[in-house]
Amino acid sequence: PLSYFFPELEISLLTQFARAQRPDGYIPHDLGRSRLDLPSNGTTYHHWKDLNPKFVLMAYRDLLWSGDRVFLKTIYPSVKKAMGWSFLNDHDGNGLPDHEGADQTFDLWSFYGAHPYTGGIFLAALLAAKKMAEQCGDRVFARRCRLAFDKGRMSFEKEFWNGEYFGSAASCAFAQLNGQWYADLLGLGSIAD
């Protein structure tokens, strides 16, 4: 609703998150310091693996809905850097970011290795980042995102599809659909067969 009814406010918010991006590319959880409910430096206890892909998806959503090319030019360097951080968190080389405990939106639920929730969001974010790279004329990064998507998609299906749903050994979350839901919302296509 914020993006739809108040696009300028949403673009301002995402631009502020881009300004708060860490030198390594991590997008912080929040913009506050010394919050009353959780004193932090913008990060909860862990660097959440789903925040950067969500930032990329929100940036692409706001670009689509606003058509604001100035916003694209402003946000694209942060999008590219955010995806770079996610690439670095693929510790086993399967093309999907790896968790190291309670480092995602379900912050009291520990995941280890790749997980369908973050994996699906990451795959959708790769498609969105590719579209933004193409619009910015960055063919090299667009190709990197496409190759990363192909590799990650293969791992996503091989590691998580059990014939009925995408799940890990430890769990099956309805959130397995979030990546595809966002891909549908943004007209990005399928993240898995």
Q: How far apart are CA 4 and CA 46, in angstroms?
A: 31
Q: How far apart are CA 8 and CA 70, in angstroms?
A: 12
Q: Is 115 helix (H, G, I), strand (E, B) or coil?
A: coil
Query: For the whole model, what pTM was predicted?
Result: 0.92
Q: Are strands 99-101 and 111-113 parallel, antiparallel or unpaired?
A: antiparallel
Write out pLDDT tens, residues 21-33.
999 999 988 776 6
Q: Quick one: pLDDT band at residue 86, thresholds 50, 70, 90?
A: very high
Q: How far apart are CA 188 and CA 148, in angstroms?
A: 15
Predicted local confidence at residue 111, as pLDDT: 84
- Helices 7-19 and 69-88: crossing angle in degrees, nearest 10, is 40
Q: Is 20 helix (H, G, I), strand (E, B) or coil?
A: coil
Contact residues for 36 (Cβ-Cβ < 8 A; gap 6+): none
Q: What is the mean pLDDT of the chain?
A: 89
Name the more confident of 55 and 39. Answer: 55
| ∠ CA 26-27-33, rounded to 5° | 110
| ∠ CA 137-57-142, rounded to 5° | 25
Q: How far apart are CA 133 and CA 140, in angstroms?
A: 8
Predicted local confidence at residue 84, as pLDDT: 98
Name the more confident of 107 and 90. Answer: 90
Predicted local confidence at residue 88, as pLDDT: 97
Q: How far apart are CA 24 and CA 95, in angstroms?
A: 19
Predicted local confidence at residue 44, as pLDDT: 57
Q: Residue for token digits 């604001």?
A: 68
